[in-house]
């Protein structure tokens, strides 16, 4: 099915921008068996014929069974199981056994213990640059070279590049993600707010104040709900021109005006104006689904969440838009990131090859398009945009194009050179602001001192 001229143009521009970013048990069937006792002796081969007959072929090899660890719940977990089932029934060489954790963090924690014990899975939805440098993961360059059907040139360049460590491909992008804005159409309409006017955080803050409903000194309807954690804050700071490290990588930049003014904007809205709210804590993704529920059940006008939330949302009530920028700073520059899969180095060569076969299947144009349509995550292959099912889906579901459009002018993810210590300091600071109502300047100054100390140790 062909694309319309408009759709071709939109997709072409999006892909061009994405490419620019890089520069900046299955049962084995058997046959044969014992002869039927009722058969006539004349049907049997003579001794001379038997002697000249070729030797029987070797018995089929048993399929290689591998574990695939991942931390996905809800519809995402269901979609992953669907593709695992599809893979297992599509061939007889590999069987994938899913092992589900509560979230990405739990997956990494359990993997750390598995690496220490030597009893590792062959496939895992995780990526840790520091672990790759220490040799905990196996590079996949040779597997890519040995499988010409993989076609790395078809993978979205900015996503493939994120999987490289010191010039080697250690991680493969399973899907892309970026945090976008979801809003209730009825709440915007009731308040006379046009989504196309929400081009800056300042305007969104004003709209949130207008939509918030307060009764008896308490807010019963919130104008907006940012998602708990540092990810939303990094997006907003990047959109203001801020950074986590200086260009030369020697100085942490968490106490700059860009960081302070951004976090103070959200602290004031959450704790003083009470026009926004943060859900935090709980098991796994509990805080995330509480945030979604607030919007779906009519307790908030909108929230900032993952492109992967789309499979859990009702777009009869909701719509999606890109993250805004800031006044005087231009369009938003939130992070577009690939969710990566890895192969632990302690897996056997046979298991590593089996894991790569599974990843290649998941990353095929048809399957990455399926994942995108059913989750909202960004397909990792450029050819997926030509998949007929995806073309028809995007016409009927315009929200599916928002992540792609935002990714076209997005920032790359922060790579922590200290193995996570700078990120940990930032997380603590954000919690102090979002949850404990600590002024942004105070929280960030403490984070700056801690993070700079860790960076200096690393750079010695």
pLDDT band at 25 (very low <50, low <70, confident <90, very high): very low
Say what the pLDDT of residue 88 is.
98
Say what the pLDDT of residue 35 is.
31
Asked if residue 28 lies in contact with residue 63, where contact means CB atoms within 8 angstroms, the answer is yes
204-208, 281-285, 383-387, 407-411 — most confident range = 204-208
For the segment 49-101, what is each residue's pLDDT rounded down to a tens digit? 333 444 445 666 899 999 999 999 888 999 999 999 999 999 999 999 999 99
- Across the range 334-353, mean pLDDT stands at 97
Positive or negative: CA dihedral 205, 206, 210, 215: positive
Distance CA 258, CA 288 (A): 26
Say what the pLDDT of residue 408 is.
81
Q: What percent of the chain has pLDDT over 70?
A: 87
Rg (Cα) of the chain, in Å, rounded? 26
Distance CA 400, CA 385 (A): 11
State the number of CA atoms in the 13 A half-sphere of 267 facing the CB. 21
Write the CB contacts of 144 (distance below 8 Å, at least 6 apart in sequence): 150, 152, 169
| CA-wise closest residue to 452 among 415, 417, 413 | 417
Say what the pLDDT of residue 59 is.
60
Say what the pLDDT of residue 311 is.
84
Q: What percent of the chain has pLDDT over 90?
A: 79
Q: Which long-range contacts (CB under 8 A, 24 or more apart) does 252-261 make?
A: 252/422, 252/448, 252/451, 252/452, 252/455, 254/425, 254/426, 254/429, 254/444, 254/447, 254/448, 254/451, 255/441, 255/444, 255/445, 255/447, 255/448, 259/440, 259/444, 260/440, 260/441, 260/444, 261/440
For the segment 402-452, what is each residue's pLDDT rounded down to a tens digit? 998 888 888 989 989 998 999 999 999 999 999 999 999 999 999 999 999
Instruction: Answer yes or no: is pLDDT of 33 > 60.
Output: no
Query: In terms of pLDDT, which residue wins out, 11 or 104?
Result: 104
Say what the pLDDT of residue 380 is.
94
Write the CB contacts of 209 (distance below 8 Å, at least 6 apart in sequence): 223, 273, 275
Distance CA 212, CA 223 (A): 5
Strands, sheet with 123-124, edge to edge from the N-terminal-most edge strand: 94-100, 64-70, 123-124
Measured from the Cβ of residue 451, the count of other Cβ atoms closer than 10 Å reads 28
Asked if residue 225 lies in contact with residue 303, where contact means CB atoms within 8 angstroms, the answer is yes
For the segment 222-245, what is each residue's pLDDT rounded down to a tens digit? 999 999 999 999 999 999 999 999
Mean pLDDT of the chain: 88
Distance CA 234, CA 223 (A): 21
DSSP state of 54: P
Instruction: Answer yes or no: is pLDDT of 36 > 90.
Output: no
| CA-wise closest residue to 80 among 402, 358, 381, 385 | 358
For the segment 156-175, what is each residue's pLDDT rounded down to a tens digit? 888 999 999 999 999 999 99
Distance CA 186, CA 198 (A): 16
Write the CB contacts of 401 (distance below 8 Å, at least 6 apart in sequence): 10, 14, 394
Domains of the chain: 62-176+337-407 (3.40.190.10), 178-336+412-459 (3.40.190.10)
- Across the range 23-39, mean pLDDT stands at 34
Least confident of 14-23, 216-225, 264-273: 14-23
- Across the range 253-268, mean pLDDT stands at 98
- Across the range 190-212, mean pLDDT stands at 98
Distance CA 330, CA 238 (A): 11
| CA-wise closest residue to 347 among 339, 355, 357 | 355
Least confident of 5-9, 142-146, 203-207, 299-303: 5-9
Query: In terms of pLDDT, which residue wins out, 164 or 23?
Result: 164
- Exposed (0-12), middle (13-18) or buried (19+): which is 385, by Cβ within 10 Å? buried
Asked if residue 98 lies in contact with residue 72, where contact means CB atoms within 8 angstroms, the answer is no
SS3 content of the chain, % helix, strand, coil (to 5): 50, 15, 35
For the segment 113-158, what is each residue's pLDDT rounded down to a tens digit? 999 999 999 999 999 998 999 999 999 999 999 999 999 999 988 8
């Amino acid at each position: 099915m062909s694309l319309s001229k408009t759709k071709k143009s939109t997709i072409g521009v999006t892909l061009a921008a994405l490419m620019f970013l890089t520069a900046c048990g299955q049962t084995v069937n058997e046959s044969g068996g014992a002869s039927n006792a009722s058969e006539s002796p004349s049907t049997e081969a003579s001794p001379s014929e038997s002697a000249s007959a070729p030797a029987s072929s070797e018995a089929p090899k048993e399929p290689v069974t591998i574990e695939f660890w991942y931390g996905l719940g809800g519809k995402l977990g269901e979609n992953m199981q669907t593709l695992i089932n599809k893979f297992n029934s599509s061939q007889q060489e590999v069987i994938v056994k899913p092992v589900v954790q509560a979230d990405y963090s739990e997956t990494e924690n359990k993997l750390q213990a598995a690496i220490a014990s030597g009893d590792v899975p062959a496939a895992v939805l995780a990526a840790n640059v520091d672990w790759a440098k220490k040799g905990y993961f196996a590079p996949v360059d040779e597997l890519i070279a040995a499988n010409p059907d993989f076609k790395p040139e078809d993978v979205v360049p900015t996503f493939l590049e994120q999987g490289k460590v010191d010039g080697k491909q250690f991680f493969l992008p399973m899907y892309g993600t970026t945090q976008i804005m979801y809003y209730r159409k009825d709440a915007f309409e009731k308040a006379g707010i046009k989504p196309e006017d929400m081009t800056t955080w300042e305007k969104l803050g004003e709209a949130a104040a207008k939509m918030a409903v307060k009764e008896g000194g308490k807010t019963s309807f919130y104008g907006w709900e940012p998602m708990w954690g540092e990810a939303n804050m990094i997006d907003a700071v990047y959109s203001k021109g801020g950074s986590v490290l200086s260009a030369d990588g020697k100085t942490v930049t968490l106490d700059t005006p860009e960081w302070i003014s951004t976090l103070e904007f959200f602290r004031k809205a959450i704790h003083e104006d009470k026009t926004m709210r943060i859900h935090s804590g709980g098991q796994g993704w509990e805080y995330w689904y509480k945030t979604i529920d607030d919007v779906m059940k009519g307790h908030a006008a909108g929230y900032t969440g993952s492109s992967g939330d789309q499979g859990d949302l009702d777009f009869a009530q909701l719509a999606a838009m890109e993250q805004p920028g800031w006044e005087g700073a231009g369009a938003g520059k939130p992070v577009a990131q690939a969710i990566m899969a890895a192969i632990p180095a302690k897996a056997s060569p046979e298991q590593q090859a089996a894991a790569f076969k599974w990843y290649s299947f998941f990353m095929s144009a048809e399957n990455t398009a399926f994942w995108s349509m059913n989750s909202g995550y960004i397909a990792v292959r450029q050819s997926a945009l030509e998949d007929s099912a995806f073309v028809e889906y995007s016409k009927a579901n315009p929200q599916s194009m928002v992540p792609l459009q935002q990714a076209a002018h997005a920032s790359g993810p922060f790579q922590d050179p200290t193995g996570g210590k700078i990120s940990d300091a930032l997380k603590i600071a954000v919690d102090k602001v979002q949850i404990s109502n600590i002024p942004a300047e105070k929280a960030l100054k403490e984070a700056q001192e801690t993070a700079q100390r860790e960076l200096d140790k690393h750079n010695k």
